[in-house]
């Protein structure tokens, strides 16, 4: 005999929805924002986009394709953002975590964990899909990044090239 769907116990534990009072962090902890970044390198060149001058963050600066995790895994976010921003198709199995930046930019901002993934393979040629956020995609020498480059992005790229996997920024203030 099979139980009806209504009478079966849920196989997933009940979890409070994000943003509800019962989903608050334990006392003394602060939630961190998680960002994902796509590090594409070919023949010593790194793909970077020039952020729109009116962008809420780092307008007029160079940055790699990136975004914030929503209710999704980091690799799912990476795949989504790569396609939304630049029309690139990436299989999550082809993404490798190569650098993490744990940072605080300003005292009143939440801490951020910035995950940089290298895609070993991808499909497509970078194209502008969000012209209100990025005005051009361009390949730059990984040794000579353009000015201005978002500071934590520069530090991450330098770390990747040096074989370092972790950087902390802004915690000493």
Q: What is the pLDDT of residues 110-145, one digit of tens each?
A: 999 999 999 999 999 999 999 999 999 999 999 999
Indicate if the pLDDT at residue 40 is higher than 50.
yes
pTM for this entry: 0.85
Residue 112 in any domain: the answer is: yes
Total number of domains in the chain: 1
What is the pLDDT at residue 10? 33
Rounded to the nearest angstrom, the gap between the alpha carbon of residue 58 and the centroid of all alpha carbons in its chain is: 15
What is the spatial distance between Cα 14 and Cα 8, in angstroms, rounded to a whole number? 14
Residue 122 in any domain: the answer is: yes
Residue 7 in any domain: the answer is: no
Taking the CB of residue 145, how many other CB atoms lie within 10 A of it? 17
Residue 6 in any domain: the answer is: no
Q: How confident is the model at residue 7 (pLDDT cuts 50, 70, 90)?
A: very low
Count Cα atoms within 13 angstroms, Cβ side, for 47: 25
Residue 66 in any domain: the answer is: yes
Q: How confident is the model at residue 41 (pLDDT cuts 50, 70, 90)?
A: very high
Cβ contacts of 80 within 8 Å, gap of 6 or more: 67, 72
Residue 22 in any domain: the answer is: no
| Mean pLDDT along residues 42-59 | 96
Structural domain boundaries, residue 39: 32-169
From residue 21, give the alpha-carbon distance in Å to each of 16, 18, 72, 76, 130. Answer: 8, 9, 21, 27, 34
Mean of the per-residue pLDDT values of the chain:
88
Cis previous bond, 136, omega within 30: no
Q: What is the pLDDT of residues 84-107, one digit of tens each?
A: 999 999 999 999 999 999 999 998
């Amino acid at each position: 005999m099979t139980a009806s769907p209504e009478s079966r116990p849920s196989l997933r534990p009940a979890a409070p929805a994000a943003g509800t009072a019962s989903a608050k962090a334990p006392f003394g902890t602060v939630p961190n924002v998680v960002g994902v970044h796509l590090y594409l390198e070919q023949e010593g060149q790194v793909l970077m986009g020039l952020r729109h001058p009116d962008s809420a963050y780092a307008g007029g600066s160079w940055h790699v394709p990136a975004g914030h995790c929503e209710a999704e895994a980091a690799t799912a976010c990476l795949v989504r953002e790569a396609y939304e921003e630049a029309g690139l198709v990436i299989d999550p199995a082809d993404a490798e975590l190569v650098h993490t930046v744990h940072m605080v930019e300003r005292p009143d901002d939440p801490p951020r964990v910035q995950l940089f993934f290298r895609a070993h393979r991808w499909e497509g040629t970078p194209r502008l899909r969000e012209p209100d956020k990025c005005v051009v995609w361009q390949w730059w020498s990984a040794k000579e990044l353009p000015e201005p480059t978002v500071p934590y992005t520069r530090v991450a790229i330098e770390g990747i090239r040096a074989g370092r996997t972790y950087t902390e920024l802004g915690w000493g203030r």
